[in-house]
Structure 1
Amino acid sequence: MTSKPRLQLALDHTSLDAALHTAERLHPYVDIIEAGTILCISAGIQAVRALRERCPQHTLVADLKVADAGATLAEQAFAQGANWMTVICAAPLATMASAQAVAARHQGEIQIELFGRWTLEDAKRWLDLGIRQAIYHRGRDAQASGQTWSKQDLDIMKALSDMGIELSITGGITPADLPLFKDIAVTAFIAGRALAEAADPIAAARQFHSAINDIWRG
Protein backbone atom coordinates (compact mmCIF):
# COMPACT_ATOMS: atom_id res chain seq x y z
CA MET A 1 0.00 0.00 0.00
CA THR A 2 1.03 3.61 -0.25
CA SER A 3 2.31 5.23 2.94
CA LYS A 4 -0.35 7.92 2.76
CA PRO A 5 -4.08 7.10 2.66
CA ARG A 6 -5.95 7.98 -0.48
CA LEU A 7 -9.36 9.59 -0.87
CA GLN A 8 -12.12 7.48 -2.41
CA LEU A 9 -15.34 8.88 -3.84
CA ALA A 10 -18.29 6.53 -3.33
CA LEU A 11 -21.02 7.03 -5.90
CA ASP A 12 -24.21 5.61 -4.40
CA HIS A 13 -26.61 7.49 -6.62
CA THR A 14 -29.75 5.85 -7.94
CA SER A 15 -29.27 7.66 -11.26
CA LEU A 16 -26.28 6.89 -13.49
CA ASP A 17 -26.43 10.37 -15.01
CA ALA A 18 -26.22 11.93 -11.54
CA ALA A 19 -23.30 9.68 -10.62
CA LEU A 20 -21.44 10.57 -13.79
CA HIS A 21 -22.06 14.26 -13.15
CA THR A 22 -20.56 13.93 -9.65
CA ALA A 23 -17.61 11.96 -10.99
CA GLU A 24 -16.98 14.54 -13.70
CA ARG A 25 -16.90 17.32 -11.13
CA LEU A 26 -14.83 15.58 -8.47
CA HIS A 27 -12.49 13.19 -10.26
CA PRO A 28 -9.56 15.65 -10.30
CA TYR A 29 -9.77 15.89 -6.51
CA VAL A 30 -10.01 12.20 -5.52
CA ASP A 31 -7.73 9.19 -6.00
CA ILE A 32 -10.21 6.30 -6.20
CA ILE A 33 -13.74 6.18 -7.63
CA GLU A 34 -16.31 3.64 -6.50
CA ALA A 35 -19.37 2.42 -8.32
CA GLY A 36 -21.37 1.93 -5.14
CA THR A 37 -23.75 -0.91 -4.41
CA ILE A 38 -26.83 1.29 -4.81
CA LEU A 39 -25.57 2.58 -8.16
CA CYS A 40 -24.72 -0.90 -9.44
CA ILE A 41 -28.16 -2.19 -8.47
CA SER A 42 -29.93 0.84 -9.94
CA ALA A 43 -27.95 1.19 -13.16
CA GLY A 44 -26.38 -2.23 -13.64
CA ILE A 45 -22.78 -3.25 -14.20
CA GLN A 46 -22.58 -0.80 -17.11
CA ALA A 47 -22.09 1.87 -14.45
CA VAL A 48 -18.58 0.50 -13.99
CA ARG A 49 -17.87 0.75 -17.71
CA ALA A 50 -19.26 4.29 -17.91
CA LEU A 51 -17.05 5.42 -15.04
CA ARG A 52 -14.00 3.73 -16.55
CA GLU A 53 -14.56 5.52 -19.85
CA ARG A 54 -14.75 8.90 -18.12
CA CYS A 55 -12.00 8.34 -15.53
CA PRO A 56 -9.41 6.15 -17.26
CA GLN A 57 -6.56 6.94 -14.87
CA HIS A 58 -8.33 6.33 -11.56
CA THR A 59 -8.45 3.18 -9.48
CA LEU A 60 -12.05 2.04 -9.93
CA VAL A 61 -14.00 -0.07 -7.42
CA ALA A 62 -17.05 -2.21 -8.16
CA ASP A 63 -18.77 -2.35 -4.78
CA LEU A 64 -20.87 -5.43 -5.48
CA LYS A 65 -20.63 -6.97 -1.98
CA VAL A 66 -20.57 -10.39 -3.62
CA ALA A 67 -21.94 -13.28 -1.53
CA ASP A 68 -22.02 -16.05 -4.15
CA ALA A 69 -21.02 -16.70 -7.78
CA GLY A 70 -17.65 -15.10 -7.07
CA ALA A 71 -15.96 -15.92 -10.38
CA THR A 72 -18.95 -14.94 -12.51
CA LEU A 73 -19.47 -11.57 -10.85
CA ALA A 74 -15.74 -10.84 -10.69
CA GLU A 75 -15.47 -11.53 -14.43
CA GLN A 76 -18.26 -9.02 -14.99
CA ALA A 77 -16.69 -6.36 -12.78
CA PHE A 78 -13.12 -6.64 -14.05
CA ALA A 79 -14.16 -6.98 -17.70
CA GLN A 80 -16.02 -3.68 -17.35
CA GLY A 81 -12.88 -1.95 -16.09
CA ALA A 82 -12.86 -2.32 -12.31
CA ASN A 83 -9.53 -2.58 -10.51
CA TRP A 84 -11.04 -3.76 -7.22
CA MET A 85 -14.24 -5.59 -6.33
CA THR A 86 -15.86 -6.11 -2.93
CA VAL A 87 -16.91 -9.46 -1.47
CA ILE A 88 -18.97 -9.59 1.73
CA CYS A 89 -17.21 -11.18 4.69
CA ALA A 90 -20.03 -13.71 5.16
CA ALA A 91 -19.38 -15.24 1.73
CA PRO A 92 -17.99 -18.79 1.69
CA LEU A 93 -14.24 -19.14 1.29
CA ALA A 94 -14.91 -20.84 -2.04
CA THR A 95 -16.63 -17.70 -3.29
CA MET A 96 -13.74 -15.54 -2.12
CA ALA A 97 -11.20 -17.88 -3.70
CA SER A 98 -12.94 -17.94 -7.07
CA ALA A 99 -13.29 -14.16 -7.09
CA GLN A 100 -9.65 -13.77 -6.11
CA ALA A 101 -8.53 -16.03 -8.98
CA VAL A 102 -10.37 -13.87 -11.50
CA ALA A 103 -9.05 -10.68 -9.89
CA ALA A 104 -5.48 -11.96 -10.12
CA ARG A 105 -5.93 -12.82 -13.80
CA HIS A 106 -7.04 -9.23 -14.43
CA GLN A 107 -4.28 -7.77 -12.22
CA GLY A 108 -7.02 -6.59 -9.86
CA GLU A 109 -7.76 -7.02 -6.19
CA ILE A 110 -10.58 -8.26 -3.98
CA GLN A 111 -11.66 -6.27 -0.94
CA ILE A 112 -13.51 -8.01 1.89
CA GLU A 113 -16.40 -5.90 3.16
CA LEU A 114 -16.59 -6.27 6.95
CA PHE A 115 -20.20 -6.48 8.07
CA GLY A 116 -21.78 -8.48 10.85
CA ARG A 117 -19.96 -11.40 12.43
CA TRP A 118 -16.41 -12.31 11.49
CA THR A 119 -13.21 -13.05 13.41
CA LEU A 120 -9.48 -12.49 13.13
CA GLU A 121 -9.21 -16.19 12.31
CA ASP A 122 -11.41 -15.48 9.30
CA ALA A 123 -9.05 -12.66 8.32
CA LYS A 124 -6.10 -15.08 8.43
CA ARG A 125 -7.95 -17.33 5.99
CA TRP A 126 -8.50 -14.39 3.65
CA LEU A 127 -4.79 -13.66 3.76
CA ASP A 128 -4.07 -17.30 2.96
CA LEU A 129 -6.16 -16.86 -0.21
CA GLY A 130 -3.99 -13.91 -1.22
CA ILE A 131 -6.55 -11.25 -0.31
CA ARG A 132 -4.86 -8.24 1.28
CA GLN A 133 -7.62 -5.63 1.49
CA ALA A 134 -10.67 -5.15 3.67
CA ILE A 135 -13.23 -2.40 4.19
CA TYR A 136 -14.18 -1.44 7.74
CA HIS A 137 -17.70 -0.20 7.37
CA ARG A 138 -20.01 1.73 9.64
CA GLY A 139 -23.28 1.35 7.77
CA ARG A 140 -25.91 3.98 7.02
CA ASP A 141 -28.34 2.53 9.51
CA ALA A 142 -25.69 2.44 12.25
CA GLN A 143 -24.85 6.09 11.58
CA ALA A 144 -28.51 7.03 11.68
CA SER A 145 -28.86 5.36 15.09
CA GLY A 146 -25.99 7.47 16.45
CA GLN A 147 -23.21 4.87 16.39
CA THR A 148 -19.76 6.47 16.55
CA TRP A 149 -16.24 5.13 16.09
CA SER A 150 -15.46 3.27 19.33
CA LYS A 151 -12.24 2.11 20.95
CA GLN A 152 -13.34 -1.42 20.06
CA ASP A 153 -13.53 -0.41 16.39
CA LEU A 154 -10.07 1.09 16.52
CA ASP A 155 -8.59 -1.92 18.35
CA ILE A 156 -10.02 -4.28 15.75
CA MET A 157 -8.68 -2.12 12.92
CA LYS A 158 -5.24 -2.08 14.53
CA ALA A 159 -5.28 -5.87 14.91
CA LEU A 160 -6.14 -6.27 11.23
CA SER A 161 -3.52 -3.72 10.25
CA ASP A 162 -0.87 -5.55 12.29
CA MET A 163 -1.78 -8.80 10.49
CA GLY A 164 -1.06 -7.20 7.13
CA ILE A 165 -4.61 -6.33 6.08
CA GLU A 166 -4.82 -2.97 4.33
CA LEU A 167 -7.97 -1.16 5.37
CA SER A 168 -10.30 1.22 3.63
CA ILE A 169 -12.55 2.98 6.13
CA THR A 170 -16.04 4.25 5.48
CA GLY A 171 -19.20 5.31 7.25
CA GLY A 172 -19.89 9.01 7.60
CA ILE A 173 -16.18 9.86 7.64
CA THR A 174 -15.29 13.55 7.99
CA PRO A 175 -11.87 15.21 8.01
CA ALA A 176 -12.23 15.69 11.79
CA ASP A 177 -12.36 11.89 12.23
CA LEU A 178 -9.06 11.15 10.50
CA PRO A 179 -6.70 11.53 13.50
CA LEU A 180 -8.45 8.52 15.06
CA PHE A 181 -6.86 6.29 12.44
CA LYS A 182 -3.27 7.54 12.43
CA ASP A 183 -1.82 4.27 13.78
CA ILE A 184 -3.63 2.07 11.25
CA ALA A 185 -2.50 1.00 7.78
CA VAL A 186 -5.22 2.84 5.87
CA THR A 187 -5.41 2.36 2.12
CA ALA A 188 -8.25 4.84 1.63
CA PHE A 189 -10.87 6.90 3.35
CA ILE A 190 -14.16 6.45 1.54
CA ALA A 191 -16.54 9.40 1.39
CA GLY A 192 -19.84 9.49 -0.42
CA ARG A 193 -22.40 12.01 0.76
CA ALA A 194 -19.68 14.00 2.56
CA LEU A 195 -18.36 14.88 -0.89
CA ALA A 196 -21.28 14.53 -3.29
CA GLU A 197 -23.77 16.37 -1.09
CA ALA A 198 -21.42 18.99 0.34
CA ALA A 199 -22.26 22.64 -0.21
CA ASP A 200 -18.90 22.90 -1.97
CA PRO A 201 -17.77 19.38 -2.98
CA ILE A 202 -14.37 20.50 -4.25
CA ALA A 203 -13.61 22.36 -1.01
CA ALA A 204 -14.72 19.28 0.94
CA ALA A 205 -12.31 17.07 -1.01
CA ARG A 206 -9.50 19.53 -0.40
CA GLN A 207 -10.25 19.46 3.33
CA PHE A 208 -9.87 15.67 3.32
CA HIS A 209 -6.55 15.89 1.50
CA SER A 210 -5.31 18.62 3.85
CA ALA A 211 -6.14 16.48 6.88
CA ILE A 212 -4.46 13.43 5.33
CA ASN A 213 -1.35 15.43 4.51
CA ASP A 214 -1.18 16.88 8.03
CA ILE A 215 -1.53 13.50 9.77
CA TRP A 216 0.54 11.32 7.44
CA ARG A 217 3.53 13.58 6.83
CA GLY A 218 6.42 12.20 4.83
Structure 2
Amino acid sequence: MKLQVAIDRVDLEYAKEIAKKLDPIVDIIEMGTSLVKDYGYYSLNKNDLGISRAELLLDTKTIDEGKYEFEKGYDTGADILTVMGASSLGTLKTTYAVTQDKGKQMFIDLMEVSDTKLKKIVNFDNAIYGIHHAKDNEQNFDAADSVEKFHRSFPNIKRINVAGGIDLKQVQKLKKQGIAETVIVGSKIMKSVDPIKTAQEFMKEIK
Protein backbone atom coordinates (compact mmCIF):
# COMPACT_ATOMS: atom_id res chain seq x y z
CA MET A 1 0.00 0.00 0.00
CA LYS A 2 1.17 3.53 -0.78
CA LEU A 3 0.79 6.86 1.00
CA GLN A 4 -0.30 9.96 -0.89
CA VAL A 5 -0.10 13.24 1.02
CA ALA A 6 -2.45 15.99 -0.15
CA ILE A 7 -1.10 19.52 0.14
CA ASP A 8 -3.99 21.96 -0.13
CA ARG A 9 -5.13 25.48 0.79
CA VAL A 10 -1.64 26.77 1.59
CA ASP A 11 0.58 29.32 -0.15
CA LEU A 12 2.95 28.20 -2.89
CA GLU A 13 6.19 28.70 -0.97
CA TYR A 14 4.98 26.57 1.93
CA ALA A 15 3.76 23.92 -0.51
CA LYS A 16 7.25 23.79 -2.06
CA GLU A 17 8.92 23.63 1.36
CA ILE A 18 6.75 20.74 2.53
CA ALA A 19 6.98 18.91 -0.81
CA LYS A 20 10.80 18.90 -0.67
CA LYS A 21 10.73 17.49 2.86
CA LEU A 22 8.10 14.86 2.03
CA ASP A 23 9.83 13.75 -1.18
CA PRO A 24 12.23 11.26 0.47
CA ILE A 25 9.51 9.88 2.76
CA VAL A 26 6.18 9.33 0.99
CA ASP A 27 5.13 7.65 -2.26
CA ILE A 28 2.95 10.33 -3.86
CA ILE A 29 2.75 14.08 -3.28
CA GLU A 30 -0.51 15.70 -4.28
CA MET A 31 -0.85 19.36 -5.12
CA GLY A 32 -4.50 19.95 -4.34
CA THR A 33 -7.13 21.64 -6.46
CA SER A 34 -6.77 24.91 -4.56
CA LEU A 35 -3.09 25.14 -5.55
CA VAL A 36 -3.88 24.34 -9.18
CA LYS A 37 -6.51 27.08 -9.21
CA ASP A 38 -4.53 29.62 -7.20
CA TYR A 39 -1.19 29.25 -8.99
CA GLY A 40 -1.76 27.30 -12.21
CA TYR A 41 0.21 24.61 -13.98
CA TYR A 42 3.27 26.76 -14.67
CA SER A 43 3.94 27.20 -10.95
CA LEU A 44 3.58 23.49 -10.20
CA ASN A 45 6.36 22.08 -12.35
CA LYS A 46 7.74 18.92 -10.74
CA ASN A 47 11.36 20.08 -10.91
CA ASP A 48 10.52 23.53 -9.50
CA LEU A 49 8.67 21.87 -6.62
CA GLY A 50 11.83 19.95 -5.77
CA ILE A 51 10.22 16.53 -6.19
CA SER A 52 12.65 13.94 -7.52
CA ARG A 53 11.76 10.62 -5.85
CA ALA A 54 8.02 10.67 -5.10
CA GLU A 55 5.34 10.74 -7.79
CA LEU A 56 3.52 14.05 -8.31
CA LEU A 57 -0.25 14.18 -8.59
CA LEU A 58 -2.01 17.37 -9.65
CA ASP A 59 -5.65 17.32 -8.55
CA THR A 60 -6.98 19.02 -11.65
CA LYS A 61 -10.52 17.62 -11.30
CA THR A 62 -10.93 17.86 -15.08
CA ILE A 63 -14.55 17.64 -16.21
CA ASP A 64 -14.28 19.00 -19.79
CA GLU A 65 -11.54 20.06 -22.24
CA GLY A 66 -9.86 16.78 -21.32
CA LYS A 67 -7.23 16.63 -24.05
CA TYR A 68 -6.03 20.20 -23.47
CA GLU A 69 -5.97 20.00 -19.67
CA PHE A 70 -4.22 16.63 -19.57
CA GLU A 71 -1.59 17.52 -22.16
CA LYS A 72 -0.81 20.75 -20.32
CA GLY A 73 -0.86 18.98 -16.97
CA TYR A 74 1.61 16.32 -18.03
CA ASP A 75 3.88 19.01 -19.46
CA THR A 76 4.56 20.02 -15.83
CA GLY A 77 6.19 16.65 -15.21
CA ALA A 78 3.19 15.41 -13.22
CA ASP A 79 2.87 11.63 -13.01
CA ILE A 80 -0.86 11.54 -12.23
CA LEU A 81 -3.76 13.84 -13.14
CA THR A 82 -7.36 13.62 -11.96
CA VAL A 83 -10.56 13.57 -13.97
CA MET A 84 -14.06 13.56 -12.52
CA GLY A 85 -16.01 10.34 -12.97
CA ALA A 86 -19.08 12.53 -13.38
CA SER A 87 -17.68 13.95 -16.64
CA SER A 88 -18.84 12.65 -20.02
CA LEU A 89 -17.67 9.29 -21.31
CA GLY A 90 -16.05 11.22 -24.16
CA THR A 91 -13.95 13.24 -21.73
CA LEU A 92 -12.88 10.10 -19.85
CA LYS A 93 -11.90 8.35 -23.09
CA THR A 94 -9.96 11.41 -24.24
CA THR A 95 -8.04 11.88 -20.99
CA TYR A 96 -7.28 8.15 -20.85
CA ALA A 97 -5.93 8.22 -24.40
CA VAL A 98 -3.63 11.15 -23.56
CA THR A 99 -2.50 9.36 -20.40
CA GLN A 100 -1.68 6.16 -22.25
CA ASP A 101 0.14 8.07 -24.98
CA LYS A 102 2.27 9.89 -22.40
CA GLY A 103 2.96 6.77 -20.33
CA LYS A 104 1.40 8.44 -17.29
CA GLN A 105 -1.46 7.69 -14.87
CA MET A 106 -5.09 8.82 -14.69
CA PHE A 107 -7.03 9.11 -11.44
CA ILE A 108 -10.83 8.97 -11.79
CA ASP A 109 -12.43 10.85 -8.89
CA LEU A 110 -15.65 9.02 -8.02
CA MET A 111 -17.14 11.73 -5.84
CA GLU A 112 -20.93 11.77 -6.31
CA VAL A 113 -20.78 9.11 -9.06
CA SER A 114 -23.74 6.73 -9.02
CA ASP A 115 -23.43 2.97 -9.50
CA THR A 116 -25.30 3.38 -12.79
CA LYS A 117 -22.60 5.73 -14.09
CA LEU A 118 -19.84 3.59 -12.60
CA LYS A 119 -20.95 0.57 -14.61
CA LYS A 120 -20.31 2.61 -17.76
CA ILE A 121 -16.77 3.65 -16.81
CA VAL A 122 -15.19 0.54 -15.30
CA ASN A 123 -13.21 -0.48 -18.38
CA PHE A 124 -10.22 1.86 -18.10
CA ASP A 125 -7.90 -0.96 -17.07
CA ASN A 126 -4.87 1.10 -16.02
CA ALA A 127 -6.79 3.94 -14.40
CA ILE A 128 -6.88 4.61 -10.66
CA TYR A 129 -10.40 4.74 -9.24
CA GLY A 130 -10.60 7.09 -6.28
CA ILE A 131 -13.21 6.67 -3.57
CA HIS A 132 -13.44 10.23 -2.35
CA HIS A 133 -15.54 11.56 0.52
CA ALA A 134 -16.48 15.15 -0.34
CA LYS A 135 -15.10 17.73 2.09
CA ASP A 136 -18.47 19.51 2.15
CA ASN A 137 -20.30 16.29 3.02
CA GLU A 138 -20.79 16.11 6.79
CA GLN A 139 -21.97 12.49 6.86
CA ASN A 140 -19.74 9.95 8.57
CA PHE A 141 -17.31 8.09 6.30
CA ASP A 142 -15.54 4.84 7.04
CA ALA A 143 -12.80 4.38 4.45
CA ALA A 144 -12.27 0.65 4.99
CA ASP A 145 -15.99 -0.15 4.85
CA SER A 146 -16.39 1.97 1.72
CA VAL A 147 -13.49 0.19 -0.01
CA GLU A 148 -14.90 -3.22 0.91
CA LYS A 149 -18.36 -2.38 -0.47
CA PHE A 150 -16.88 -0.89 -3.62
CA HIS A 151 -14.68 -3.93 -4.23
CA ARG A 152 -17.64 -6.28 -3.82
CA SER A 153 -19.66 -4.27 -6.33
CA PHE A 154 -16.83 -3.80 -8.85
CA PRO A 155 -14.37 -6.70 -8.36
CA ASN A 156 -12.71 -6.17 -11.76
CA ILE A 157 -11.36 -2.72 -10.86
CA LYS A 158 -7.72 -3.32 -10.01
CA ARG A 159 -6.52 0.06 -8.73
CA ILE A 160 -8.49 1.57 -5.85
CA ASN A 161 -7.45 4.66 -3.89
CA VAL A 162 -9.35 6.18 -0.99
CA ALA A 163 -9.49 9.62 0.63
CA GLY A 164 -11.51 11.27 3.35
CA GLY A 165 -10.52 11.85 6.97
CA ILE A 166 -8.15 8.88 7.09
CA ASP A 167 -6.29 8.48 10.38
CA LEU A 168 -3.80 5.87 11.63
CA LYS A 169 -6.58 3.55 12.79
CA GLN A 170 -8.16 3.60 9.33
CA VAL A 171 -4.75 2.96 7.75
CA GLN A 172 -4.36 -0.14 9.93
CA LYS A 173 -7.77 -1.43 8.82
CA LEU A 174 -7.06 -0.69 5.15
CA LYS A 175 -3.67 -2.40 5.24
CA LYS A 176 -5.14 -5.51 6.87
CA GLN A 177 -7.95 -5.48 4.32
CA GLY A 178 -5.43 -5.50 1.46
CA ILE A 179 -7.62 -3.96 -1.25
CA ALA A 180 -6.66 -0.29 -1.57
CA GLU A 181 -3.55 0.52 -3.58
CA THR A 182 -3.08 3.96 -2.03
CA VAL A 183 -4.44 5.87 0.94
CA ILE A 184 -4.70 9.64 0.58
CA VAL A 185 -4.16 11.71 3.71
CA GLY A 186 -4.53 15.47 3.87
CA SER A 187 -5.36 17.35 7.03
CA LYS A 188 -4.37 14.54 9.43
CA ILE A 189 -0.81 15.15 8.25
CA MET A 190 -0.77 18.73 7.00
CA LYS A 191 -2.57 20.19 10.02
CA SER A 192 -0.54 18.28 12.57
CA VAL A 193 2.08 20.02 14.72
CA ASP A 194 4.88 18.36 12.72
CA PRO A 195 3.70 17.23 9.25
CA ILE A 196 6.96 15.47 8.40
CA LYS A 197 7.03 13.43 11.61
CA THR A 198 3.35 12.57 11.19
CA ALA A 199 3.95 11.45 7.60
CA GLN A 200 6.71 9.17 8.87
CA GLU A 201 4.30 7.68 11.40
CA PHE A 202 1.78 6.96 8.63
CA MET A 203 4.50 5.37 6.50
CA LYS A 204 5.50 3.06 9.37
CA GLU A 205 1.91 1.76 9.53
CA ILE A 206 1.66 1.41 5.76
CA LYS A 207 4.94 -0.37 5.16
- Give TM-score, length-normalised by structure 2: 0.89
Q: Which has the higher helix share?
A: 1
Offset of residue 140 of structure 1: 1.8
Taking the aligned partners of 2:82 and 2:171, their CA distance within structure 1 comes to 23
How many pairs are equivalent? 206
Question: Is 1:186 matched with 2:180?
Answer: yes
- Matching of residues 64-143 of structure 1 within 5 Å: 64-119=60-115, 122-142=117-137
What's the secondary structure of 1:126's corresponding residue?
Answer: coil
Q: Any stretches of 5+ residues in structure 2 without a counterpart?
A: none
Question: Is 1:35 matched with 2:31?
Answer: yes
Taking the aligned partners of 2:117 and 2:156, their CA distance within structure 1 comes to 12
Offset of residue 150 of structure 1: 7.1
Taking the aligned partners of 1:84 and 1:151, their CA distance within structure 2 comes to 23
- Matching of residues 48-67 of structure 1 within 5 Å: 48-50=44-46, 53-67=49-63
Asked if the contact 2:125–2:157 (Cα under 8 Å) also holds between the matched residues in 1, the reply is no
Taking the aligned partners of 1:157 and 1:51, their CA distance within structure 2 comes to 36
Taking the aligned partners of 1:150 and 1:50, their CA distance within structure 2 comes to 29
RMSD (Å) for aligned C-alpha atoms: 2.2
Taking the aligned partners of 1:88 and 1:159, their CA distance within structure 2 comes to 22
Offset of residue 14 of structure 1: 3.9
Per-residue CA deviations over 1:25-76 (Å, capped at 9, x if unaligned) read 2222211111111110111112431566511232111111111111110001
Aligned to 2:140: 147
Taking the aligned partners of 1:132 and 1:141, their CA distance within structure 2 comes to 26
Q: Any stretches of 5+ residues in structure 1 without a counterpart?
A: 214-218
Taking the aligned partners of 1:195 and 1:132, their CA distance within structure 2 comes to 26
Aligned to 2:41: 45
Identity %: 24
- Give TM-score, length-normalised by structure 1: 0.85
181-190 or 153-162, which deviates more: 153-162
What's the secondary structure of 1:153's corresponding residue?
Answer: helix
| Alignment counterpart, residue 203 of structure 1, candidates 181, 185, 197 | 197
Residue type of the alignment partner of 2:93? A
